[in-house]
Chain A
Amino acid sequence: MEAAAGGGCGSGPPLLLSEGEQQCYSELFARCVGAAGGGPGSGPPEAARTVPGTVTAAAGPVADLFRASQLPAETLHQITELCGAKRVGYFGPTQFYIALKLIAAAQSGLPVRIESIKCELPLPRFMMSKTDAEIRFGNPAELHGTKVQIPYLITEKNTFKRMDDEDKQQETQSPTMSPLASPPSSPPHYQRVPLSHGYSKLRSSTEQMHPAPYEARQPLVQPEGPSSGAPGAKPPRHKASLIRSFSVEREPHDNSSNYPDEPWRITEEQREYYVNQFRSLQPDPSSFISGSVAKNFFTKSKLSIPELSYIWELSDADCDGALTLPEFCAAFHLIVARKNGYPLPEGLPPTLQPEYLQAAFPKPKRECTLFDSYSESMPANQQPRDLNRMELSIKDTADFPVPTQDVTSDDKQEQNKTRLALKSTADEALPKDMSEDPATSKDSNSLKARPRSRSYSSTSIEEAMKRGEDPPTPPPRPQKTHSRASSLDLNKVFQPSVPATKSGLLPPPPALPPRPCPSQSEQVSEAEIHPQLNRAPSQVAESSPTKKDIPHSQPPSKPIRRKFRPENSATESQEPPSTVGGPVSAASGKPHAAVQKQSSKQKKAIQTAIRKNKEANAVLARLNSELQQQLKEVHQERIALENQLEQLRPVTVL
């Protein structure tokens, strides 16, 4: 073993492994390799066969194993580089052992260097799901092996699968697995740290680095593999990043708690992510995402339409054709699970029920508004269900919220109530939410009315849908994009009414027009409202070079400028003649900054425009396909009718 390690190491130093290490490493390696061999014909086995004649561990299980060591991403990266896997492109035995040794070194606090591995080191610890005291090294690898069949590995999925298999494998594994690592005594939260770690990686740009080495080894694994490389280039579209997370990130496995329905439990990190995605679709967390918006969003997950349809069915608890935040989280979670290969459940798991989701994730103080809004929408969701029960138990819980009135205590109460609800069954969560209802009853009535009116409005919807051959195009994207490209209102920019000005604005202002007088600038700078869009057209519409420069230098003040326009126009007409020479120097500095601002804003604008166009494309493509389908049907009908006609025609003389 050692000789082989030393010999195969090449440029690395000879690796000395102790007995225990040898055993452990070889087992781990065997599992990783076995995982590769056990997988389906796709990716990993082929990755393992990249170097014929060499037994290589598939990058997937290896990556998972490494991440289970709970080392930071950079360290893992270093380790992979050092062990030579990156260089040679695969994890051979030598590389694997070196990597394990380096992991042990890193975990012991030693710097990640080749020299570190020369000394005696404890065995590397891999944080896996902790059920009982034992950590099974092999488990993750093996589980990952089984999971290799499923193209997309995300933390939770591994966790879940591990949970499922763990029971089966406990007996088989335990004899072979010497207690090599200390059992993680951390509560589930700690175990979620790697998950969060993974997710933070997911969202950060560093994830680009990680996929790179692993992806190189698995060119064939994911059909989205190539696309996962692309997402880096794509604008950080929410779904694109999600796809990135699906295909690229072989996230740490570890961390799951001991709950039986682990796959369907949403962790904090995931919750955050879902909430962010929700917000990107619908800025108001207390309102709904409409069906068409959600449809477009979820279609990007590339699941089949029947599956998406089923997921929707599961998650839209009140069947209103729209998703509230908890429903959205449930749907998102189901999609994520499905992408990781989990079969869709027969019914909505209890941990994904809207009331549970709202109860289990009491918002921190800063998000108390969110929570209130959840409770608002929640009662409405529960409306079709047991009103009576809720009313009865309101009285029980009414004592709770009654005494205190201020918001903070309300939140605490709600949290207390949520904790109570957590202990009690999901049904009792209903009364808790109903008790919040009186506190937040504004929208509940309207929300309540929705399910009742469903039956009446649905027929009209059916009619509209039947009549309108074309599904209505989704509403134009809300102007939320402006929150990022805050300075450029694309609509205004692209308005045909100001083509000349637009073309004049987009490139950096060529010359230094005479500066407006400082008094005007003062006025403008004083009244700073939030950055508004329309600077270009509104300003340029003035057709005054002075105005043109002002917006560049002071974007936030544009709306003010419009208000000031009547005054400004009066003042400006006087100013240019008088103050041409003075502020020129001042102006020289401004356009510079303005140019930079402008170019970045333009970039953003262009990106948003690209995004919009892509979305429009997708919508039109679907429209097209639907119309094609209808056309086919109509054709068939026509053919059938023609046949009938033929037959009905009186038999004429032959």
Chain B
Amino acid sequence: MAVCVAVIAKENYPLYIRSIPTENELKFHYMVHTSLDVVDEKISAMGKALVDQRELYLGLLYPTEDYKVYPSHQSPCVESTFPNQLCRYGYVTNSKVKFVMVVDSSNTALRDNEIRSMFRKLHNSYTDVMCNPFYNPGDRIHSRAFDSMVTSMMIQVC
């Protein structure tokens, strides 16, 4: 279950951030913020490689505290499961827009493919938002379609 979904702009400010257990929203904000560093690290590491072949999906980010975050996207995931794991996944687009998703893997261990498909959906919805001429890049995303898609992800994966 995706407990938090965030879309971060290139300049590292959030375009959209939403979490399910709303009482802990600030905590999720912090988590997303910290994961940004990891994302940037990955981007810069990969940047020296083939840029055009760059993987958009970053996989599980680094582990911290009681929330497990996977390090790299291509290496096999470290399967150290702690109770009540909140896994953070990252995804970056070619225009340096980052999607960060915090997933509660306590009930079901989500497979990588599922996460990828979720990110793909996110990306598609994001491009739909972009296609809207009334959307200025850099604005917060208020699109209802996007909202509903994120909601469906949050509930469905649950």
Q: State how many residues of chain B have any CB contact under 8 Å with chain A.
A: 24
Q: Cβ of A462 and Cβ of B94 under 8 Å apart? A: yes
Contact of A306 (CB < 8 Å), options: B94, B95, B142, B145: B142
- Answer whether residue A310 sits at the interface, using C-beta atoms and an 8 A cutoff: yes
8 Å CB interface, A446-500 against B = 454-455, 458-463, 465-466, 471
Q: Is B93 an interface residue (CB 8 A)?
A: yes
Q: How far is A466 from B10 in the complex, measured between Cα atoms in Å?
A: 8
Q: Which of B93, B136, B144 contacts A313 (CB 8 A)?
A: B144
Q: Is there contact, CB below 8 Å, between B135 and A309?
A: yes
Docked Cα-Cα span, A463 to B136, in Å, equals: 13
A463 touches B95 (CB 8 A): yes
Instruction: Decide: B131 and A310 in contact? CB cutoff 8 A.
Output: no
Instruction: Write the nearest CB–CB distance from B7 to chain A, whole angstroms.
Output: 12
Cβ of B156 within 8 Å of any chain A Cβ, yes or no, is no
State which of A298, A465, A633 has its C-beta within 8 Å of the C-beta of B130: A465
Contacts of A294 in B (CB 8 A): 133
Known: A462-B93, A633-B138. A455 touches B123 (CB 8 A): yes
A291-B95 contact, Cβ under 8 Å, with A306-B142, A310-B144, A637-B11: no
On whether the beta carbons of B142 and A309 are closer than 8 Å, the reply is yes
Is A397 part of the contact surface with B, judged by Cβ < 8 Å? no
Q: Which of B123, B127, B137 contacts A466 (CB 8 A)?
A: B137
Give the interface SS of chain B, mostly helix, strand, loop or mixed.
Answer: loop
A305, B144: Cα distance in complex, Å: 14
Residues of B within 8 A of A637 (CB): 11
Q: Which single residue of chain A is at the shortest CB-CB distance from B11?
A: A637
Partner of B94, one of A298, A313, A460: A460
Residues from chain B with Cβ under 8 Å of A455 in the complex: 123-124, 127
Kindly name the residue among B96, B136, B142, B143 whose own CB sees the greatest number of chain A CB atoms within 10 A. B136
Which chain A residues border B134 with CB–CB below 8 Å?
295, 298, 305-306, 308-309, 312
Q: Does A508 contact B (CB under 8 A)?
A: no
Give the CA-CA distance A460 to B97 in the complex, in Å.
Answer: 12
For the complex, what is the distance from the CA of A455 to the CA of B142, rounded to whole Å?
20
A513 to chain B minimum Cβ distance, whole angstroms, is 52
Contact B132 A321, beta carbon cutoff 8 Å: yes
Question: A286-322 CB contact bits vs B (8 Å, 1 = yes)?
Answer: 0000011011001000000110111011001001110
Q: Is B128 an interface residue (CB 8 A)?
A: yes
Q: Please, what's the 1-or-0 string for B88-105, where 1 marks a CB less than 8 Å from any CB in chain A?
A: 000001111100000000
Most-contacted residue by chain A among B11, B123, B132, B142 (CB, 10 A): B132
Q: How far is the CB of A308 from chain B (nearest CB, A)?
A: 5
Contact status A312-B94, CB under 8 Å: no
Please report the C-alpha to C-alpha distance between residue A630 and residue B94 in the assembled complex, in whole angstroms: 21
* Contacts A309-B135, A309-B143, A313-B144 given; does A462 touch B124 at CB 8 Å: no
The smallest C-beta distance from A615 to any residue of chain B, in angstroms, reads 15
Is there a chain B Cβ closer than 8 Å to A642's Cβ?
A: no
Do A312 and B93 have beta carbons less than 8 Å apart?
no
B132 pairs with A458, CB closer than 8 A: no
In this assembly, does A626 line the interface, its C-beta being within 8 Å of a C-beta of chain B?
yes
Within 118-158 of B, Cβ neighbours of A (below 8 Å) are at 123-124, 127-128, 130-138, 142-145
Cβ of A30 to closest chain B Cβ, rounded Å: 42
Q: How far is the CA of A465 from the CA of B10 in the complex (A)?
A: 11
A255 to chain B, nearest CB (A): 32
Nearest Cβ on chain A to B156's Cβ, whole angstroms? 19
Q: Within the assembled complex, what's the spacing in Å between the Cα atoms of A267 and B93?
A: 44
Query: Which B residues are CB-close (under 8 A) to A460?
Result: 94-95
Q: How far is the CB of B135 from chain A (nearest CB, A)?
A: 6
Give the chain A neighbours of B135 by CB distance below 8 A: 309
* Residue of chain A at shortest CB distance from B56: A459
Question: Inside 8 A of B95's CB, which chain A residues have their CB?
Answer: 459-460, 462-463, 465-466
Q: Within 8 Å CB of A471, what residues of B?
A: 136
Give Cα A551–Cα B135 distance, bound, in whole angstroms. Answer: 48
Residues from chain A with a CB closer than 8 A to the CB of B123 are 455
A462 touches B133 (CB 8 A): no
- In angstroms, Cα B135 to Cα A312, docked, is 10
Chain B's nearest CB lies how many Å from the CB of A194?
Answer: 34
The answer to whether residues A458 and B136 also contact, given A310-B144, A466-B10, A637-B11 and a CB cut-off of 8 A, is no
**Considering the chains assembled together, what is the distance between the CA atoms of A308 and B135 in angstroms?**
9
Query: Are A463's CB and B131's CB within 8 A?
Result: no
Bound together, the chains give a CA A312 to CA B127 distance in angstroms of: 14
Q: Let me know if B94 and A321 touch, CB within 8 A.
A: no
C-alpha spacing A462/B131, complex, angstroms: 9
Contact present for A316 and B127 (CB under 8 Å): no
Binary per-residue interface labels of chain A (385-413) against chain B in the complex, 1 for a CB within 8 Å, 0 otherwise: 00000000000000000000000000000
In the complex, A458 Cα to B120 Cα: how many Å? Answer: 13
The chain B residue sitting closest to A304, CB to CB, is: B134
The complex places the Cα of A460 from the Cα of B131 at a distance, in Å, of 12
How far, in Å, is B52 (CB) from chain A's closest CB? 11
Q: Which of A298, A454, A633 contacts B127 (CB 8 A)?
A: A454
- In the bound complex, CA of A546 to CA of B2 (Å): 80
**For residue A321, which residue of chain B has the nearest CB?**
B131
Asked if A462 and B137 sit within 8 Å, CB to CB, the answer is yes
Per-residue contact bits, chain A 215-254, to B (CB 8 Å; 1 contact, 0 not): 0000000000000000000000000000000000000000
**How many Å lie between the Cα of A147 and that of B55 in the bound state?**
55
> CA of A346 to CA of B124 in the docked complex: distance in angstroms?
20
Write out the residue numbers on chain B whose beta carbons fall within 8 Å of the beta carbon of A626: 136
**Least Cβ–Cβ distance between B26 and chain A, in angstroms:** 19
Instruction: Report the minimum CB–CB distance from A321 to chain B (whole Å).
Output: 4
In the assembled complex, the Cα of A459 lies from the Cα of B133 at a distance in Å of 15
* Chain A contacts for B11, CB-based, 8 A: 633, 637
> How far apart are the CA atoms of A511 and B123 in the complex, in Å?
69
Q: Contact check, A465 vs B137: say whether CB atoms are below 8 A apart.
A: yes
Closest to B134 in A: A309
- Which of B131, B138, B143 touches A458 (beta carbons < 8 Å)? B131
Q: Which residue of A lies closest to B9 (CB)?
A: A466
Would you give the shortest CB distance from A328 to chain B, in whole angstroms? Answer: 13
Name the B residues within 8 Å of A458 (CB-CB): 127, 130-131
Q: Please, how many angstroms separate the alpha-carbon atoms of A465 and B94 in the complex?
A: 12
Bound: A629/B96 CA distance, A: 20
0/1 interface trace, chain B 52-95, chain A, CB 8 Å (1 if under): 00000000000000000000000000000000000000000111
- A183 and B120 CA atoms in complex are apart in Å by 57
Q: Which residues of B lie under 8 Å from residue A295 when comparing CB positions?
A: 133-134
A313 touches B130 (CB 8 A): no
| Chain B residue with the shortest CB-CB distance to A295 | B133
22 contacts between A and B (CB under 8 A): A291-B131, A291-B133, A292-B133, A298-B134, A310-B144, A312-B132, A312-B133, A313-B132, A313-B143, A313-B145, A319-B127, A319-B128, A321-B132, A455-B127, A458-B131, A459-B94, A459-B127, A463-B95, A466-B95, A466-B96, A466-B137, A471-B136
| B-binding residues in A (CB < 8 A) | 291-292, 294-295, 298, 305-306, 308-310, 312-313, 316, 319-321, 346, 454-455, 458-463, 465-466, 471, 626, 629-630, 633, 637
Query: Known pairs A310-B144, A313-B144, A316-B132. 4 more at Cβ < 8 A?
Result: A291-B133, A298-B134, A313-B143, A462-B137
The 3 closest A-B pairs by CB, nearest first: A291-B133, A462-B95, A458-B127
